[in-house]
């Protein structure tokens, strides 16, 4: 009898665990236009979902039914599987940055598309691609041009943080029209690095696994959320999220112990458990009077299938974010 009750309890727990994760997504970002929330995610042509309650999601048409015309020049084996978008609103338009890359290589570029509206029923709805914003080239660069996130500082300047593995995560200042990167060395910063166990070369991303930077302003701080360790490996996924903060957008970003993320620091925010092999690649927002962490987790009940999480953030007495998946 006890075994039957235990089995029912475990089954019910699995069902309840999945109820809030109704769709399969990877690298979700979110924005609200009017009464509708929109998710943009890794997928063929960039996957798009819409909802009026952040719980029930309806699939929309992909941003790029056909691959961007420039993509194959950067990635010869590109098949229109576009990674890790970032969506934001500036100057009366929606700016959608996205990643074109080869897995485990820094043969990569970040592109940009804009639209006047996200409502596909509007006569103004049309995605316009502006091509490459920044590109990384093997043998030339020891950084990786993927996982963009755009943040506007207190002075109104726009910055892009990005990167994965290699020599760390970068911050660069964007031009006023947001179509290109400012090229002076004073506009480039390395925000996050992790120690490697072997010498890095241009053919190998190394084992200093850090990616998916996202900066969020709150109570006078810039909070830098980053994903450590490995994604996309089913039951071997070890993805977890860490955080640091700074009064200056350029850093240094310090964790709870005062260790700079440039020197390997980062306070653990959330990691996997028995139900989820790993959780990561988050974005962070304020809607109404609540702050939210949006991310994906690898479902242990579904062979590591990535599922959507949208969780409320609470803040402790020292101003650090707290999130739970239990």
Please give the positions annotated as active site: 27, 211
DSSP letters for 210-256: EEEEEEEEETTEEEEEEEES--S-GGG---EEEEEEESSTT---B-T
Size of the chain in residues: 326
CA 32 to CA 34: how far, in whole Å? 6
* CA–CA distances in Å: residue 323 to residues 54, 181, 190: 17, 34, 27
- Identify whether 252 is preceded by a cis peptide bond (ω within 30 of 0): yes
User: Strands 58-60, 43-44: parallel, antiparallel or unpaired by DSSP?
Assistant: unpaired
Neighbours of 40 (CB within 10 A): 28
Q: How far from the centroid of its chain's Cα atoms is residue 81's Cα?
A: 16
**Phi and psi angles of residue 243, each rounded to the nearest 5 degrees, phi first:** -145, 150
Which strands form 128-136's sheet, in the order they lie side by side? Answer: 43-44, 81-90, 93-101, 108-115, 128-136
Q: Which of 185, 160, 244 minimizes the C-alpha distance to 210?
A: 244
DSSP 175: P
Number of alpha carbons in the 13 Å side-chain half-sphere of residue 78: 21
Q: What is the C-alpha R_g of the chain? A: 19
CA 102 to CA 251: how far, in whole Å? 30
């Amino acid at each position: 009898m006890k075994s039957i009750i235990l089995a029912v309890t475990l089954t019910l727990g699995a069902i309840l665990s999945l109820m809030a994760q109704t769709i399969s997504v990877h690298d979700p970002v979110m924005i609200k236009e009017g009464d509708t929330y929109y998710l943009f995610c890794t997928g063929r042509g960039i996957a798009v979902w819409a909802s009026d309650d952040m719980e029930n999601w309806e699939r929309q048409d992909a941003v790029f039914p056909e691959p961007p015309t420039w993509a194959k020049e950067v990635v010869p084996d590109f098949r229109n599987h576009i990674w890790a978008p970032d969506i934001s609103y500036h100057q009366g338009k929606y700016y959608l940055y996205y990643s074109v890359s080869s897995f485990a290589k820094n043969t990569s570029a970040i592109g940009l598309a804009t639209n006047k509206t996200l409502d596909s029923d509007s006569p103004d709805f049309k995605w316009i691609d502006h091509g490459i914003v920044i590109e990384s080239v093997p043998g030339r660069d020891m950084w990786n041009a993927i996982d963009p996130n755009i943040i506007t500082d207190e002075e109104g300047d726009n910055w892009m943080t990005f990167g994965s593995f290699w020599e760390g995560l970068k911050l660069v200042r964007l031009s006023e029209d947001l179509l290109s990167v400012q090229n002076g060395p004073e506009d480039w910063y390395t925000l996050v690095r992790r120690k490697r166990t072997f010498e890095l070369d241009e053919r190998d991303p190394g084992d200093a696994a850090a990616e998916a930077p996202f900066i969020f302003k709150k109570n006078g701080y810039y909070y830098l959320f980053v994903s450590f360790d490995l994604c996309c490996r089913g039951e071997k996924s070890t993805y977890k999220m860490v955080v640091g903060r700074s009064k200056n957008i350029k850093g240094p970003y310090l964790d709870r112990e005062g260790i700079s993320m440039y020197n390997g620091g980062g306070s653990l925010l959330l990691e996997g458990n028995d139900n989820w092999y790993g959780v990561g690649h988050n974005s962070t927002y304020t809607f109404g009077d609540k702050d939210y962490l949006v991310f994906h987790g690898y479902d242990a009940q579904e062979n590591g299938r990535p599922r959507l999480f949208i969780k409320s953030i609470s803040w402790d007495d020292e101003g650090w974010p707290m999130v739970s998946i239990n």
